[in-house]
Amino acid sequence: MYQRSLFILFSLIFCSAAYSQEENTVLTKDKKILNITRASDKPKIDGVLDDAIWDNADVASDFIQFKPDIGNALPTEQRTEVKMSYDDDAIYVAAYLHDDPSKIMKQLTSRDNFGQNDFFAVILNPNNDAQNDTEFFVFSSGQQADAIANPTIGEDFSWNAVWQSAVQIVDDGWIVEMEIPYRTLRFPDQEEPTWGLQFHRHFRRDRSQYTWNELDPTKGNIGLYHGELIGLKNLKPPVRLNLYPFSTGIVNNFDGETDTDLTFGMDVKYGITDNFTLDATLVPDFSQAGFDRVVLNLGPFEQTFSEQRQFFTEGVDLFSKGDLFFSRRVGSKPSGDLQLADNEEADVPEEVKVLNALKVSGRTKKGLGIGIFNAITEKTYANITNTDTNESRREVVEPFTNYNILVVDQQFNGNSSVSLINTNVMREGEFRDANATALVTNLQNKRNTYLIRGEAKMSNVNPQFDTTQTGYSTFFYIAKSHGNLRYSFDHSYADTKFEINDLGLNFRNNFNNFGADIWYQIFEPKGNLNRYSANAYINYRNLANPGTFTGTNFGAEYNAQTKSINNYGFWVDMEAGKQYDYFESRDGRYFIYENIASVGGYYSSNYNKVFAFDINANTFKIFEDGRDLFGYNLSLSPRVRPNDKLLMVYSFNLNMSNGSRGYATYQDDQPIFGERNRKRVTNTISANYTFNPFNSLALTFRHYWDTVNYDDELFTLLDNGRLTTEQGYTVDNVDESPNINFSTWNIDLSYSWQFAPGSFLTALYRNQLFNFDTMSEDSYSESLDTLFDQPIQHTISVRLQYFLDFNGIKSIFKKNNKPQTRQANNFLSTRKKRYGINS
């Protein structure tokens, strides 16, 4: 099956590539062109357009709507006029955005948070390749957002640059002024280049959005619809060397013990060439990364959390190709196993320290992208204590480890790419090493009407140092990608030896699955709706080895937005017939369940209003003889925005499940199943007060409570996939009670001050509580009392980060020299006049 899937994959890839090359249809209309002129004097970035460079600059106007309507001209009273200029250091932008000031929405938010804001955006593409954009957003509140974007990843707002902007609210609208330094862009020496250029204007009150060059949202990626910027001459990319030295002071208090630490480190961004950048973190400090939203995991697969360390979230688009890179592996829990005697206990660190990490990435003018990643973690020990003699010893649980990624990605046709990625983990000594390789394709024809995606992966792992295990996986997806009615087909495969979890994330292997989708959507308002979409799907699942059926599900979904900017939707899903779960047992035998149906829906009111709310609800039930599974989930999130500075959101989540069956414990060399009732309650509060675009205060609180209460009689699993109570296991006679009462509590209070461009002072207070026991029948209040009896962890940290730009340092020295030159010139001029000396 693997060889057949691989043959089909490559055949279709090459056929599609050939078709893409032959297609000659032009997608867009004539592109708009803006001519830019060089500035003799740098403008003052203050939102007041009184600088001489704006007097005679060409104007970009006549914006066209693309949502919710398509093709409407921007009304005269909301006309938009944009001018641009440049010098040896930066691109300058001035935009006059006409509007009624009383209708402009301008909520103060944190950086990259769009909130309830009108915005103006400048999209630059120095390669003019329709695929690699750098986006700069300015909100009406004065705050900024920025992102890199391409068809593969969409918009990546974890990317951050240092640039300047200013906003002024005036009698007939608002004004934006921007300075975009060349250090934020990647381009080679260019004598007379043509850049891709687009402007966006968004009106938050009705979610309408306009662009300077007309955009068709029904097909293709938005980069294909850029206009062009001409007039740039003799551009010299600057030395791109940015330093971010930092220091963090930390105080931890837990169970009566207090630890303090003071760390120093630095992040570096260096332009190795015009198009390639080195990002490095030296002596990294991740102490201010947020708490993980821990939940009780009853399933057979690992629990994972999103990345919160900035170095691993920013600029990783190339490394995400093929899904071989899960950055939480770097610096995660130790990978080694301990062999302990009955009278020994071990203290194992929760994480491994990252010594340093670097990324090199960039893309040539011809669309060739190259990425190199390396990270090193230190040797980590577990402390093992003999409980009888109190003697202790140390054992390595994670050796000195090197993580590497190499990516090569070739883009073409403005909408397609082919990538090769390799990941490698090398551990010192007789520890596990791993290697994985993927070939990834993303192909569209030039009319942007059909899409093909393909992946072929291979993994190599030596789990016992002297053995090698090689596995394979493929993925194929073909879709109609234009028009109102669309459809797709996909196939995914992995054999039993496919393993990428040393640096990637793969919850399971051994599958051979098929899926099909069909959906209908509108791109312009219809009746009382701005937009809606309806889709139906079916999935058919098998094991790869042996090639046996494991289950199927089908369902449908509907989503819509009204003209009042309220969103709603509903869905239904059915797992029809017998489902064969080969993973719940933890020993490879299958467990059968039948006919589970679920239905749900949501409603989200207009966030523009002072008070808004979200509500989600669903219910599920099993239709199987001898089973009485029933459950429901309810989520309610009211939010209040009393003014443009304060936003408060409360979220309540209730999850109930009665009569579910699953793995409970392991006894007498076999898995023990149980029927259980589960109740989960989560309360979350978040509040943000933003004083101005440079000062903000944020509070996050979360309390999670989860109880699992098993029926007295427990089951064993028969070879036919059914459960029996004949062996007489009960909750009382197994070694450990499977009943669970689990709860966590987190408070996170932070203050951030941007005291200079790219420079921050962040103060943070956190506390954390945790409890895990078997008191599953305790009430919510009783469980909360027990939680408060546990030792609490308090953490206070203060971090200072300063931004240093090499070009800025050079300019300081130049400025220091200029007064002396002017003073000397003035002295000579005075002497010439005094003594009648002519030049």
How much is the pLDDT for 817?
A: 52
CA dihedral angle for residue 264, residue 270, residue 276, residue 280, rounded to 10 degrees = -10
pLDDT band at 829 (very low <50, low <70, confident <90, very high): very low
How much is the pLDDT for 763?
A: 96
Tokens in use for 784?
A: 């909360």
Question: In Å, how far from its chain's centre is CA 266?
Answer: 24
Does residue 106 fall inside a structural domain? yes
Out of 230, 255, 274, a domain closes at 230
Residues 130 and 16 in one domain: no
pLDDT per residue as tens digits for the range 386-424? 988 989 999 999 999 999 999 999 999 989 999 999 999
Residues 199 and 335 in one domain: no
Residues 6+ apart with CB under 8 A from 285: 246, 248, 263, 265, 799
pTM for this predicted structure: 0.89
Residues 441 and 330 in one domain: yes
Helix segments in 548-615, DSSP class H? none
User: Does the pLDDT value for residue 22 go beyond 50?
Assistant: no
pLDDT band at 190 (very low <50, low <70, confident <90, very high): confident
How much is the pLDDT for 430?
A: 84
Residues 104 and 4 in one domain: no
How much is the pLDDT for 465?
A: 60
Does residue 68 fall inside a structural domain? yes
pLDDT band at 611 (very low <50, low <70, confident <90, very high): very high
| Number of residues written out for the chain | 839
pLDDT per residue as tens digits for the range 768-826? 999 999 999 999 999 999 999 999 999 999 999 999 998 777 655 555 554 444 343 44
Does residue 755 fall inside a structural domain? no
How much is the pLDDT for 464?
A: 66
User: Does the pLDDT value for residue 445 go beyond 50?
Assistant: yes
Long-range contacts of 773-780 (CB under 8 A, 24+ apart): 773/740, 773/741, 774/737, 774/739, 774/740, 774/741, 775/739, 775/741, 776/707, 776/708, 776/709, 776/710, 776/739, 776/740, 776/741, 777/707, 777/709, 777/739, 778/707, 778/741, 780/681, 780/705
Residues 337 and 456 in one domain: yes
Residues 110 and 224 in one domain: yes
Q: Could you give the number of structural domains in the chain?
A: 3
Residues 91 and 217 in one domain: yes
Residues 6+ apart with CB under 8 A from 796: 250, 251, 763, 764, 765, 766
| 532 contacts 560 by C-beta, under 8 angstroms | yes
Residues 38 and 23 in one domain: no
Task: Work out the number of other CB atoms within 10 angstroms of the CB of residue 604.
Answer: 17
pLDDT per residue as tens digits for the range 150-185? 887 889 898 899 999 999 999 999 999 999 999 999
Helix segments in 195-313, DSSP class H? 310-313
Spatial CA neighbour of 678 closest among 149, 200, 297, 184: 297
Residues 342 and 471 in one domain: yes
User: Does the pLDDT value for residue 316 go beyond 90?
Assistant: no
Domain that holds residue 377: 1-28+302-492
Residues 203 and 110 in one domain: yes
Out of 492, 517, 538, a domain closes at 492
Spatial CA neighbour of 413 closest among 440, 438, 439, 442: 442
Does residue 742 fall inside a structural domain? no
Does residue 636 fall inside a structural domain? no
Residues 366 and 406 in one domain: yes
Does residue 297 fall inside a structural domain? no
Does residue 396 fall inside a structural domain? yes
Output the CA–CA distances (angstroms, integers) from residue 697 to 306, 361, 793, 804, in the order listed: 23, 34, 22, 25
Residues 390 and 438 in one domain: yes
- CATH number of the domain where residue 120 is located: 2.60.40.1190
Does residue 12 fall inside a structural domain? yes
Out of 492, 513, 530, a domain closes at 492
